Structure 1
Amino acid sequence: MDAQLNIVGGGMAGSEAAWQAANMGIRVCIHEMRPKVGTFAHRTGHFAEMVCSNSFRSDDDERNAVGLLHWEMRAASGLIMEMATRHRLPAGGALAVDRDPFAESVTEQLRSHPNISVSEEEVTELPSSGSWIIATGPLTSSRLGQAIAAETGSDALAFFDAIAPIVYAETVDMSVAWMQSRYDKGETLEEQTAYMNCPMDKDQYEAFIDALLAADNTQFHEGETAGYFDGCLPIEVMAERGRETLRHGPMKPVGLTNAHTPEQKPYAVVQLRRDNALGTLYNIVGFQTKMKYGAQVDVFRKIPALENASFARLGGIHRNTFINSPTLLDDRMRLKSRPNIRFAGQITGVEGYVESAAMGLLAGRMAAAEILGQDLAPPPPETAMGSLIHHITGGAEAKTFQPMNVNFGLFPPIDAKGGRKGRKDRYKAYTDRAKAAFTEWLS
């Protein structure tokens, strides 16, 4: 057999797709334009570079949908989850990753695989022959995006994604801030001190909101009308929805006790999460922003404990492209008008690192099976992967289709009878059912 699978894009989805197909004995070529052609958000040419948060979110596989997705990817020998676990950082119940060693390890694994080759030339057209997976993610190049739009007969859908800033830990004033995970989650001292907490009283919070609302923001080009993904809203957009919005969102003070003044409850708290294994870098949790760079420094230094902070990276915003998958893809993730092409990752309308990698895992296995003369059906909808692929390939309403994280609302309902009436018991029932169904699908 000399057929080859071509994968465009070396992000989470493309990397996972390549790994799965190569391990099924298929020759794979990854077409990754970086570093020859850069993007707004990427800094390197590494595969699976994390450009936004360094968190894969909850790792609880018994009562959390994304934690269940972690479990399924591990069960399927996923590369992304293996490398994330290898380079995990303390983050309470979340799976946070040391981003640079993680990307370097993924790159090393793929480049050293005997069935994988790499092309650094930009792909600008949709190929008419051969087996292909388009996994170009949120930053699809303009020329390839135009080719996709021309083929699908409509303008590419899009929303805006924002990036949070990263602070040098040594510049945080620890006479004001303290180390604690919310609700003291984590079994070890290292896990319990994975977060820095910067408290605010009411006057400080109000002054911060005033500065935030008055700051200069990035202006988009004429015709840029895309909205925001609700799971990644810029903080100034949240503030515009109401002065208390941030205090009940990323700045909520619940589950935290100020180590310096335990008797005094903070009015609001800004959390910083460890961003590397050395503990020298921390990202500001939930502080995605579209403010101009100068304005960011001025506004963020109004946060007590960050008055003298230095930033390793400031926040930013970029356009995130995705297709209307419910109308364009079949349940094997193939483009209906060109069945030799599959789509995977964020461009299909899933949101998040883990969801993107999971769709890459499925696309890689399905494409490899087809090359081997087999037909691989998607996992059942009772599973996390199955619920996602069902949603993007027909379960969602095409007219209102928007990016979606995995959640139990995408799963077929659980019968609440038999004593499983509480939310925790219901979620455990979802994961138990999913694990059994996914194990059977794998076999």
Structure 2
Amino acid sequence: DEVQRTLANHPNIEIVRERVDALPDAGLTIVATGPLTAQTLAESIVQATGEDRLAFFDAIAPIVHRDSIDMSKCWIQSRWNKRTEASNEDGDYINCPMTKEQYETFVQALVDGEKTEFKEWEADTPYFDGCMPIEVMAARGVETLRYGPMKGVGLDNPYDTTEEHPQGRWPYAVVQLRQDNKLGTLWNMVGFQTKLKYGAQVELFRTIPGLENAEFARLGGLHRNTFINSPMVLDRQLRLRNAGHIRFAGQITGCEGYVESAAIGLMAGLMAAAEHRGEDWTPPPPTTALGALLGHVTGDAEAETFQPMNVNFGLFPPLHEVKKKQRKEAYTARAKADLGEWLASRERVPA
């Protein structure tokens, strides 16, 4: 392996292969232990970050690009909040209503859908109440979801009004989506963590009213994993807020994918090198893949719903003025130009 040989032969690098059971008290440190961090080190991370800020598995709900949602069938409202006539956007949730027939068909499809099996090493991954796969809940009874994440109570459907209910009647059931990033470009399907196979997810979730043409930034899943709540515990330089000598990098920061993990690791290394030299390090622009991913894990994601994420165009500052079919090309062109300027403006940090 070329990378391993390069590191092993580098005069300034010493490779020590031994178990680390605790975070160090001093010295510039980068923790990049990945999804199977040893229990002893994980306990040390918990002590440094807080018990509720280190996850041992990810319960991922699908995330939808906001501009692919058909708002002629949905509306924005928080439960029990009354909308005004002047606004259809008073609340935190996009609501996709279902009739009784649509709901029952949907529940049966959840139960019948093809699932991904746990790998042997994650077979004992527990189901906690807040992370129960949607299809497991559906299998408990046809009404279970209607009294759980698909509850329609307290939501006034503006597309189903009567003289008695001028604001709209409550839907029989509803799928809610909540904003997942500060830009408002990504919305999370609330309570829809799932082990359905990806193809089955896309096919089924596009039967939901308003999501017929949904584009997914991420599909659902449940895996054995170890990752910190980075937006809550890391600063913009990937340092622990309460232990600035320690940085985190790679998959444990809550990025998904080999390229993304390597990218965060590269930036963590550049940051640490600059800090060691007493220099400032300016991050890549948020219009680039590097900058968008870094921004997402260090504060732009919603900490309350934070789950591992691949890089995708939904993390980039939107280009609303560009037609939808041309946006990906425009995002790419802007990213290349801005990355080029960033590279040209900074001095190389010597190894």
TM-score with structure 1 setting the length: 0.44
Deviation at 1:105, TM superposition (A): 2.3
Moved more, 219-228 or 138-147: 219-228
2 CA distance for matches of 1:243 and 1:440?
A: 38
Q: 1:429 to 1:227 in 2, by over 3 A?
A: farther
- CA RMSD between the two structures: 3.8
Deviations 1:111-141 (A, max 9, x none): 1222211111111111111000001111111
User: What is the rounded CA distance, in whole Å, between the counterparts of 1:319 and 1:343 in structure 2?
Assistant: 19
Write the mapping of 1:330-349 to structure 2, written as runs, cut at 5 A. 330-349=235-254
Tell me, in whole angstroms, the C-alpha distance in 1 between the residues paired with 2:292 and 2:118. Answer: 41
| CA distance in structure 1 between the aligned counterparts of 2:193 and 2:38, rounded to whole angstroms | 23
> How far apart are 1:210 and its partner, in Å?
8.7
Aligned partners of 2:288, 2:45: CA distance in 1, in Å? 30
| 1:133 to 2:30 alignment | yes
Among candidates 326, 329, 333, match of residue 234 of structure 2: 329
Pick from 250, 258, 261: which aligns with 1:356? 261
Amino acid at match of 1:429: A
| d(CA) in 1 for partners of 2:250, 2:292 | 15
Q: Supply the AA of the counterpart residue of 2:18.
A: E
Q: 334, 338, 343: which one pairs with 1:437?
A: 338
Among 298, 307, 326, the alignment partner of 1:402 is 307
Give the superposition deviation at 1:428. Answer: 1.4
Correspondence for 1:427: 328
Contact residue 238 and residue 245 of structure 1 kept, 8 A: no
Q: Please tell me whether residue 238 in structure 1 is matched to residue 197 in structure 2.
A: yes
Kindly provide the amino acid, as one letter, of the partner of residue 153 in structure 1. Answer: G
- Tell me, in whole angstroms, the C-alpha distance in 1 between the residues paired with 2:117 and 2:34: 30
The structural deviation recorded for 1:422 is 4.2
Aligned to 1:36: none
Q: Distance in 2 between matches of 1:236 and 1:126?
A: 34
Partner of 1:220: 124
Pair 227,131 (structure 1): closer, same or farther in 2 beyond 3 Å: farther
- Taking a change above 3 Å as real, the CA distance of residues 144 and 223 of structure 1, as seen in their structure-2 partners, is farther
CA-to-aligned-CA distance 1:68-99 (integer Å, 9 cap, x gap) = xxxxxxxxxxxxxxxxxxxxxxxxxxxxxxxx
- Residues in 1 aligned to 2:287 and 2:116: alpha-carbon distance in whole angstroms: 47
Note the 1:92-131 alignment, pairs <5 A: 104-131=1-28
- The DSSP-based 3-state class of the residue aligned with 1:320 is strand
Q: How does 1:79-98 map to 2 (within 5 A)?
A: none
Cα distance in 2 between the residues matched to 1:216 and 1:323: 22
> Counterpart in 1 of 2:272?
367
Residue of structure 2 equivalent to 1:268: none
Tell me by how many angstroms 1:236 deviates. 6.4
Task: Tell me which residue corresponds to 2:159.
Answer: none
Q: Which contiguous aligned blocks of 4+ residues in structure 1 show a shift greater than 2 angstroms?
A: 158-161, 209-219, 221-228, 233-246
Name which of 274, 285, 289 aligns with 1:384: 289
Residues 338, 358 of structure 1: alpha-carbon distance in 2 compared, 3 angstrom cutoff: same
Question: Where does the alignment leave 5 or more consecutive residues of structure 2 unmatched?
Answer: 60-110, 134-187, 208-220, 347-351
Task: Give the secondary-structure state (helix, strand or coil) at the position aligned to 2:246.
Answer: strand
Counterpart residue number, 2:55 = 157
If the length of structure 2 is used for normalisation, what is the TM-score? 0.54
Once the two structures are aligned, what percentage of the paired residues are identical? 49
